[in-house]
Structures are given as C-alpha cells and as structure tokens.
Structure 1
Amino acid sequence: MRSPSKQPESPDSPSPRSALSAGSPSTAATQPQRLRCCEKFSHSPYRLTISQEYWEMNPAERFTVLSSIGDECMCEEGLLQLLKRKATPICCIWFQPTPEMKIEQGIMKTIHVNRMIKAGFQVKILMADWFAQRKSKIDTLDKARTIGLYNIEMWKAAGMDLHKVELLWLSDELNHHAPDYWPIAMDVARKTTMDEMIRTCGLEMYEPEVIPASEFFYPYIQVSAILCRKVDIWLLNVDHRDICMLAIDYCKDIKGENKPTILLHNTLPSLLKDPGFRNKANRGRTIFMEDEGEFLELKIRSAFCPPKVAGNPCLAYIEYVIFPWFGKFEVAQKEENGRNKTFASMQELIASYENGVIDCADVKLAFEKAINNILQPVRDYFRGNDEARALINALKGQMKMNRTKGQDTSG
C-alpha cells in the first residue's frame, strides 16, 4: 500500500489514529493483533484509496478500515479470525431518530458507512424509532417514524450509499420478533439493580424522583437488540459504552458463547468553552445539519479555540469531519502571515498551530469555509427536492404543534 502523502483522501477512506491523542501509529495494518476487550485501536499509518474495491482487501486491510472508524473495541479475541473466515461481515449501526440532526450524526455517520461498504461489509442501520418516544415531544410512533425518514433523507443528501444499506426499524423488530427480544430484556432487568441502571443510563446527577421511568427501558431493549440481531459487528458511539458493557457482562453471566463484537467511535466535543455545560437549549454547543448563513458563522466565530491543542474542540471537528471528508485542510492566512497553506495531515496542522504559524483566527476561518462546503450540497438537495422539502415541513409542523401543546399545558 502507498504512503498517505501520495494518496488523496475521501469520505470513504480511513484516517490515521487521532492526532489529538497520545501515541504513535502502530503497524496494526500489516501485522494485526487480536484485540482485548475494550482495547484502544492503534490506527495504521496507511490508508485505503476510494477506488480500492472490497474484493482486493485482505483481512488485515479490513482490520485497518475498522480501526479508522472505531476508537475502541469491545470484542472477543477473534476479530481478525472473523475477518478471515467471513467474506462479507455484517455490521449493524445503532441510530436513534432525532429531529435536530448534528453534523456528527449526518456527516460522520456517512463517512463511517461508506468506508465499511467500500471495505466489503454488509451494512445495516437499526433505526431505534421505538426509543424516540421516550421524549415528551415525540409521543407517538408515527412521529418517531417521520423523524427517522427525515434523518434518512439527510444521509441521502450527504452522499451515503444507501442503495447498499439495509434500513431496519426497531418497532418492526419488536413486533415481528417479540419472543426473541422481550425474554432477554426481562432477564437483563432481573439481573440489574436500580443503582446499576442509573449509572448505566448516566443519570447519577439527577434525583430519582425527577427521572422519567421511560429512561430505564432503553438499556434493557438495547442490550436485547444487540444480542438478538444476527450480525458480526455493532457500531455505536462511546456514549453507549456502559450499555455495551452491560451486554457483555450479561453474556458472561449466562455463559453465552457468542459475545457481541462492538466498535465504539468518538463523539464530537461541545464548541462551548465550558465542557461541563450541558444545556441542550444552547444551540452553540454543536453544528447541526441545517445550520447556515450568519448563524453558522457566529457559532464558529464564538467557538472555544484555545492556543493549546488539548481540549480544543475546533481541532477535533477538523480531525474527525474535515480531514476525513476532504483529505486536507486549507487555511487562507492573513496577508501579513504569507501565502495560503494546505495541510495534508492532522499532525502537520497541529505542528503549525503549536508553533504559531497559524493562529485561532486562521483556524476558525478555514473551519467555517470547510463546513459550509460540506453542508452546501445538503442544502441544495433539500431546496431542489420536493419530497424532501415536504418531509422537513411536516417535521417542523409536528414540532411546532408539540411546542404549542406544551405552552397550553403550562398555562
């Protein structure tokens, strides 16, 4: 395989290990090692080109694709053996429909899915519409399904290869395979205490009397889904780590032979200065797929971008979204700083940032331009597609009706 410096990168090609985290690239691609449970992936210094078809990839190269997506692996030690044994491994991706789709859920998900398809994986996305009803504003399954269809249109607009993806709905799964799902969910519930469940759901900060009981359905059914679906690999974000551990521990408890192989990918940090500030009403915390114009400009200009690399959310967005999408990062520097500069790797960008070659203002201007270039085809798709536009209007009307009901209730 060729060196990264000689290959263009694309949304479908794997990126090297996080440059914001400590450690140097390993030779995992050329000499893959079995992974221990919860082991961090050591990303290969090599990348796969977009034109490289899956039938040309050996198990080591497929391992590289997985390591470019997942930052952590929860699995048995036989992952490489699985890749050697099975020509078309099945990967299932968990997704809960959301009316406000973040760029992480739209663009990063598109990058991950397209990479796996190119590597020869059979990809399925499980739309967890049944869980969306936990939210007070999404009180019916029809509303949850509408939101899920909107999310699918977003992926289509972003360029996800949906023709090669099987879309499943959790509500259908529960209806058609109830004898498989509910006994496991009930058994997990029997073996879990309330204290353990509060920690698993990340609800320790709340008083028990304010926690909606609906929250406790989530881990039981998700564990059941992870164990019932006949797939080789699951892909979820790191926020689901505790629930994934619950699934693995349950398998150990019942002495199950087929423990799930689970990849966890990173989430994007808050753009706000205080990382502990979790007010979801503040839309400045992240970038949404529908952001544009002056609002997007203000959001990025106001983003926290300290002179140091550690804890810098702007650099995290550049690493996990912009570099995987374009394969480079172009900075238009101020006139007094010299010519424009194109960075071919995250390591190169970090070195220039730490040395003062580029500063916070340079990074933010380039960050804003790159995000606009990524999102512009999405905007054009919805403006030029009557069905997609009607779906958004229906969703907005649905959300407006919910807000009106809430105001009437409070009054």
Structure 2
Amino acid sequence: MADQQDGTAASSEQPPQAPAAADAVAQQFSMLQITELLKKPETELTLEEKFALCRSVGEECIQEGELLRMLEKKPNIVAYDGFEPSGRMHIAQGVLKALNVNKLTKCGVTFKFWVADWFAQLNNKMGGDLKKIQVVGRYLVEIWKAVGMNMERVEFLSASEEINKRPDEYWTLVMDIARKNNLKRIMRCTQIMGRSENDELSAAQIFYPVMQAADIFFLKADICQLGMDQRKVNMLAREYCDDCKPKRLKPVILSHAMMPGLLEGQEKMSKSDPNSAVFMEDTEQEVKTKIKKAYCPPQQVACNPCLSYAQHIVLPWCEKLEVERAEANGGNKAYTTFEELCADYESGALHPADLKPALAKHLNAILQPVRDHFENNAEAKALLKQVKSYKITK
C-alpha cells in the first residue's frame, strides 16, 4: 500500500494475450475520446465504452477478458485501493487517484478506499502512533473531496474498525493465506510497503503482505485498482484463489502507472523529500519553484518528470496544455494529445523554458480548490496544520 516503484512480477502466473474483442475495444479509443466519455450520462454508455473507461485507468490489466466479462455480466462491481495514512499527499495520490476513481464510478463501479491505519502502524509510519495515523487518514479524505473526486459511489473504510467488526472472518482469511504460502514467497512482496527483502524487517512487517492479500477478499473486491508497485501482492491473491477449495473468483488487477520524482534519477516520488513532488496543498509559489527546479533536459522525452506530469495529470484533467511564448519562439500553442506534445519537445520546437511555466500554471489551477478548502474550512485548516507538524518516517 505504500508508494513504491516496482513493476516486476513475483508470480508464476503469466498474463495470456487478451481476447481479440477486449484488445480491439481497448485500442479504438483515444485519450481524447476517453475524456469525452466522462461527460456522457452513465445510462448512455455502451459496454465497449465502459470497458474503455475502466481499461484506461491501468498501465496493465490482468486480465482484460475478465474485466470485459465482468462489466457485461456483473451488476454490482467493487473496486478497491488501500492506502497508508503516512504523511502529506502528493499530486499522484491526489489528482491521479481522483481521475481513476471517477472513471470507474462512471461505469457503475463502487470504489472502496481501505484506510489502512493498522497497516501504517505495522510499517512503523508516524512512529507507530495510531492516533496520528488516523488524523492523517482524515486529512487525505478531505483532499479527495476538495479536488473533485465524485463521492457518489465511494466508501472510505477504516481497516481497524472494519476488521474489529468481523474479526473471525478476517483473521481466518489471513491465517489461510499464510498457511498456503512459504516465507520466501511472502518476502518477495515486502516491496509493497516500501521495503526490500534485504531490509531488517520486524515480524509485523512480514505479516503485512498476508493481511493485504486478505483485504481483497474481506472487502469482496472484484477489481484491485492500485499502482504497479502493488502488483506482487495482487498476484499473490490471484494465486491463492487457485489453492482454495472451492476455488475463489480471481480479482482483476488494474494497475496504474507510477509517476517519477521531480529530481534527476528519482524513479518515484518521495513523501520525505519535499522537492521530489508537488503536494496537494502546496502554495502557488511552491509549485512554481518546484517545477522550475525539476529535471527537464531539452529534447529528452524518456525519464522526464515534467512530461510525465503533463501526460498523467494535466492533459487528463484540463484536456489541454496551453503554452504561452513569444512569436519568435513559435507563438502560443495548445496541446491536446501527449503524442503532439512529445513530438514538439523531442524536435526542439518546444523548449523546457516554455513547458515549465505552462505546466506550473495548469497544476496551480488544478490545486486551487484544495488550497481554498484548507484555507476557508476551519476544521480542514486545523487538520492540515496538525499533519504538517508530524515528522514523516520512512
């Protein structure tokens, strides 16, 4: 559940080729068309359009055919994501998550957020102080509400509260998953919480992946909508389904891409490094400063965090990226596709000195409702002050 970059498989299950029907549907919609589908009434969406919306959430989908059949035949689909309340929220967790949730709920999917307070405590976040962790959890929910997440089909569930309501069901699941896996298999999943197999782990941290796999079945989730960094434990859950008698239905894994940090060589955003990411309540000047200092080599598309921000945040949210520049440098231009933006940047027609101010301007527009909420709502303002006073632990 922690924000950690890892897209490698830890499972023997290899995703087969998607059925031709699902593959064809996935390819026939551009990102512009996906944006237009979000404006369409839910009752008018076809099966193919719902599939395209859901599939656009993930960099990877295991399995596309299962997702398509689920949308066709299952009336009440549940997706879930679990998050550790472990500090301030960066823009990927805030805006990108809101975008993904809005796409799924548009298709009639119920989205369950697992506020993983016990997990944060197991992982020693906030020094293991459960009260502080729960305060951070409330702060994160406030941000999602302020930024524009559609809450109509969204549920926020506290792990500690829900598990204590049905302890027999939960701990029986945890024990069964633990019994059916050896320690080596579980250790390969420790990267989901920002750790490695070589770290000196507490017994609590070793138990963490088993509990996260149990969450999926405890919440009766049909879709695991987490980042690529959580792939290993989601595959563990699919494998567990094969070991059950009778067999359980496997959850679809819809994994979104991980965004890089703003500084050179940062494959992932870091909550402990304030310069690594734009945070959801950063001031307008802080956003400008961070983007100005961001790694953005001319004519280099790969490993360019500014272009990643444009692709995953600005274009989906704002529908275009408007660049203002002198006529001598090409004049003003509005980009509506990432392909067009990359082509100009790679050719040198778009310079970092023009891209960065445009990027900062759009990010500030996206974040302004969040700033307004934390400034004008007394309860939210006090909550933010409290969270900022906490020391972020690794």
1:46-69 Cα distance to aligned partner (Å, 9 max, x none): 324333121111221110011111
| 2:62–2:252 Cα contact (<8 Å) kept | yes
CA–CA distance in structure 2, aligned partners of residues 105 and 363 of structure 1: 23
- Which residue identity does 2:144 align to in structure 1? W
Which residues of 2 match residues 152-171 of structure 1 at below 5 A?
152-171=141-160
Cα RMSD of the aligned pairs, angstroms, is 2.7
CA–CA distance in structure 2, aligned partners of residues 302 and 380 of structure 1: 25
Cα offset, 1:33, TM superposition: 4.4
Number of matched pairs: 368
Cα offset, 1:92, TM superposition: 2.2
Secondary structure of 2:217's counterpart equals helix
2:120 maps to which of 108, 112, 132? 132
2:330 maps to which of 313, 329, 338? 338
Check 1:279–1:89 CA distance in 2 against 1; reply closer, same or farther (3 A cut): closer
| 1:43–1:68 Cα contact (<8 Å) kept | no
Alignment partner, residue 236 of structure 2:
246
| 1:98–1:151 Cα contact (<8 Å) kept | no
1:82-116 Cα distance to aligned partner (Å, 9 max, x none): 21113442222322223211101111111111222
Which structure has the higher relative contact order (CA within 8 Å, separation 6+)? Answer: 2
CA–CA distance in structure 1, aligned partners of residues 275 and 115 of structure 2: 27
Cα offset, 1:289, TM superposition: 1.0
Which range moved further: 278-287 or 54-63? 278-287
Query: Identity of counterpart residues, as a percentage?
Result: 37
Cα offset, 1:331, TM superposition: 0.7
| 1:34–1:77 Cα contact (<8 Å) kept | no
**TM-score scaled to structure 2, two decimals?**
0.85
1:298 maps to which of 283, 289, 292? 289
Cα offset, 1:354, TM superposition: 1.6
- Which residue identity does 1:98 align to in structure 2? S
Which residues of 2 match residues 36-51 of structure 1 at below 5 A?
42=27, 44-45=29-30, 46-47=33-34, 48-51=36-39
Secondary structure of 1:262's counterpart equals strand
Q: Please state if 1:183 is matched with 2:175.
A: no
CA–CA distance in structure 2, aligned partners of residues 196 and 336 of structure 1: 59
Check 1:58–1:381 CA distance in 2 against 1; reply closer, same or farther (3 A cut): same
| 2:88–2:387 Cα contact (<8 Å) kept | no
Q: Please state if 1:60 is matched with 2:45.
A: no
Secondary structure of 1:283's counterpart equals coil
Alignment partner, residue 353 of structure 1:
345
CA–CA distance in structure 2, aligned partners of residues 305 and 167 of structure 1: 37
Check 1:277–1:240 CA distance in 2 against 1; reply closer, same or farther (3 A cut): closer
**TM-score scaled to structure 1, two decimals?**
0.82
CA–CA distance in structure 1, aligned partners of residues 197 and 221 of structure 2: 35
Check 1:206–1:227 CA distance in 2 against 1; reply closer, same or farther (3 A cut): closer
1:299-344 Cα distance to aligned partner (Å, 9 max, x none): 2111111221112111111100000101001111245213211011
Check 1:58–1:276 CA distance in 2 against 1; reply closer, same or farther (3 A cut): closer
Unaligned runs of 5+ in 2: 1-17
Unaligned runs of 5+ in 1: 1-27, 36-40, 404-411
CA–CA distance in structure 1, aligned partners of residues 57 and 72 of structure 2: 19
CA–CA distance in structure 2, aligned partners of residues 189 and 328 of structure 1: 48
| 2:76–2:108 Cα contact (<8 Å) kept | yes
Cα offset, 1:217, TM superposition: 2.4
- Which residue identity does 2:281 align to in structure 1? E
1:272 maps to which of 263, 275, 278? 263
CA–CA distance in structure 2, aligned partners of residues 31 and 188 of structure 1: 34
